[in-house]
Chain A
Amino acid sequence: MTAKRLRVFALLAISMVFLLAWTFPIIWSVMNSLKTDPDVLAYPPKLVFAPTLDAYRDVLFGSGSILPNLLSSAIISVGTTIVTMLMAVPAAYALARLRFRGKKFAGFYVLATQMLPPVGIIIPYFLVLRNIGWIDTYQGIILIYLSFSLPFAIWLLVSYFEDIPFEMEEAAYLDGASRLKTLWRIIIPQVRGGIAVTVVFVFLNAWNEFLFAVVLSGNTVRPVTVAMFNFVSVEQTLWAKLAAVSVLAMLPVVVLGVVAQKHIVKGLTVGAVKGGGRR
């Protein structure tokens, strides 16, 4: 075998190991969710088994159904996304395209807010919400989610707004359209793609959040990431059901992630590849 052949084989072997390492925990959860508890616990682990949807039926429609929790997650994520976008799009446009005093400071402020450790925010926030009775409410959770979704969305959108040519809005403006009308009719359609990517990210982050959700949720509003704990207790773990809940919690983000795959790197790396020149 030539050295080149050997190299190709080595490459292939290493890449296979990595692809397997990254996907295995996910695949294994999906497989376990289609098993019965004895099959999950079988030793050696069962790769071939009779698949059943019992676990899904139980967690969705049985007693202690997680449907309300999935609904909570959905309301929180959609609500956060809508509020965030309504505030972030205008702000990002102003930061990217308008000239005003204190612009540098405004940009720095948005960036700096991302540095705060969440645990530091949640302690005082918890005290305030307890006083006004907003623990275990949607508005309480959605409001605190703005602390991380807004700075992120603003920075991501700024990078998209900066990419559109100035001539477009200039033409519209000189034609007599108001600034607001120009923004709405001319600029927003130009960054539709960027807005879509931002929506995906804000939704993902809200769906996945955990620390704030643990502290602020109760019996009424309890997202699925928190409710998942009901299936693991000191006495027993409901193996197949836990797997089913995990898969249901993963499903929306995996679908979104794969669909938005081509754009996700930009979202992850705002500033990273460019070297953060605009700081």
Chain B
Amino acid sequence: MATTAVTSAEIASEAPRSDFGRVLAQRERRFAAALLAPAFLALLATTTFPLLFLIYTSAFRMDLAMPFTNGFIGFENYQTLLADERFWTSLLVSLVYTGSTVALQVIVGLALALLVMDMKRGQGWFRIIAILPVVLSPAVVGMIWRTFMLAPEFGIVDYLAINAGLGSKNWLGDPTLAMVSVVAIHTWQWTPFAFMVLLASLASLPEDIYEAARLDRASAWQRFRRITLPLLRPAIVMVVIMRTMVALTAFAAIFTVTAGGPGTATEILNLYAYRKSFTELSIGYGSALAVALLIVTIIISGILFAMRRAK
């Protein structure tokens, strides 16, 4: 892009021995520092400081309901956590929720993107419609599904189920169905995201490779396996990474639809940390759970980024 343009930055760095260059470079650094300072101070205050404070509070017993028992307890919260069955359940629920929603989003999104790429007309409709779920608040989406879509004997899903001969189901009251429901809602809202990204990526693929493949009599499936998938790989991996990060810390939709219930059937780790801290008011233990979630997030994103680099 700007390979031939000579910028003041380049003058500054390429002529470091002249006084003029040094003055320019120094001026540039000061200017950069001044421009970055407000944003970085705000980020320090709203992300880094809370993180350090979180790790600190996780070493305390801090029950807002029973303040007299509070005090420093070192790693005790983490020992409790390792023996806490509800923690392991919530971790499992998190992994199932994240794995299934991300897989569904990518598979359905990709299939649909391929389908729409083939369409001569009507692509514009898909692009506009796909925006809608993505821009909605997950809290509002959750509320709509909980009431107008999934409510037993009244919601549309139940109406369809009855007419399909399946009978009325307690969509949010049955542990398995509740999990299926929250996965379906998340998939409903975010598949358009995967669809839009993959469609944009598909549209940028070079047409001549396909021409050559067609001349070589490659079947549609072969073209997909040998050309489309490898070329799309960076975009797919990126979608998986972005969607995984969001699904791991999904909150609003599950909170509004099931609040983690029935029991702990849809309680992902994120929600457990919230419930512990703000419903049961055990802030210290909640902090330890949040730290555990952070560690899980780092491990999973590490694996995904390694996958992106491989090959």
Contact = CB atoms under 8 A, between A and B. Distances in A.
B306 interface: no
Contacts of A116: 47, 50-51, 294
Contacts of A215: 278
23 contacts: A25-B148, A28-B148, A28-B149, A28-B156, A41-B154, A86-B38, A91-B36, A91-B39, A94-B31, A94-B35, A97-B9, A98-B31, A109-B40, A146-B46, A166-B2, A167-B5, A170-B8, A208-B138, A228-B139, A250-B136, A258-B128, A258-B131, A269-B238
A276 interface: yes
Contact of B129 (A19, A117, A144, A169): A19
B77 interface: no
Interface in A178-226: 179-180, 204, 207-211, 214-215, 225-226
A261 interface: yes
Q: Is chain A's binding surface mostly helix, strand, loop or mixed?
A: helix
Contacts of B118: 11
Contacts of B50: 116, 120-121, 123-125, 147
A125 B54 CA distance: 9
Contacts of A87: 38-39, 42
B8 A117 contact: no
Nearest to B199: A265
A14 interface: yes
Nearest to B45: A143
A216 B283 CA distance: 15
Contacts of B146: 232
B290 A269 contact: no
A74 to B, nearest CB: 14
Given A28-B149, A32-B148, 19 more contacts: A14-B115, A19-B129, A21-B188, A22-B129, A26-B136, A86-B38, A88-B39, A110-B43, A146-B46, A147-B50, A208-B138, A210-B252, A232-B143, A237-B147, A246-B140, A258-B131, A268-B196, A269-B196, A272-B238
B46 to A, nearest CB: 4
Interface string A13-53: 01100110111111011001000000001011100000000
A98 to B, nearest CB: 4
Interface size class of B (residues with CB under 8 A): 35 or more
A88 B36 CA distance: 8
A121 B140 contact: no
Contacts of A119: 249, 251, 270, 273-274, 277, 290, 293
Contacts of B180: none
A265 B123 CA distance: 14
A269 B197 contact: yes
Range, interface on chain A: 35 or more
B218 to A, nearest CB: 19
A15 B116 contact: yes
Contacts of A120: 50-51, 54, 273, 287, 290-291, 293-294
Interface of B: 1-2, 5-10, 12-13, 25, 27-29, 31-36, 38-40, 42-43, 45-51, 53-54, 56-57, 112, 115-116, 118-119, 122, 125-141, 143-149, 153-154, 156, 159, 188, 192-193, 196-197, 200-201, 204, 234-235, 238-239, 242, 245, 248-249, 251-252, 255-256, 270, 273-274, 277-278, 283, 286-287, 290-291, 293-294, 297-298, 301, 308
B28 A99 contact: yes
Contacts of A68: none
A106 interface: yes
Contact of B43 (A93, A109, A214): A109
Contacts of B287: 120, 123-124
Contacts, number: 297
Given A15-B126, A120-B290, A151-B43, A249 B140 contact: yes
Contacts of A45: 156, 159
The 7 closest A-B pairs by CB, nearest first: A257-B135, A208-B137, A124-B53, A91-B39, A210-B252, A90-B35, A120-B290
A66 interface: no
Most chain A CB within 10 A, of B43, B47, B144, B153, is at B47
A246 B143 CA distance: 8
Interface of A: 11, 14-15, 18-19, 21-26, 28-29, 32, 41, 43-45, 86-88, 90-91, 93-95, 97-101, 103, 106, 109-110, 113-121, 123-128, 143-144, 146-147, 150-151, 154, 162-163, 165-167, 169-170, 173, 179-180, 204, 207-211, 214-215, 225-226, 228-229, 232, 237, 239, 242-243, 246, 249-250, 253-254, 256-258, 261, 264-265, 268-269, 271-273, 275-276
Contact of A210 (B39, B139, B159, B238): B139
B111 to A, nearest CB: 9
B130 to A, nearest CB: 7
A25 B8 contact: no
A261 B35 contact: no
Contacts of B136: 26, 208, 250, 253-254
A211 to B, nearest CB: 5
B159 A44 contact: yes
Contacts of B270: 117, 119
A144 B42 CA distance: 9
B129 to A, nearest CB: 5
Contact of A254 (B25, B43, B132, B297): B132
B36 A118 contact: no
Contacts of A169: 7
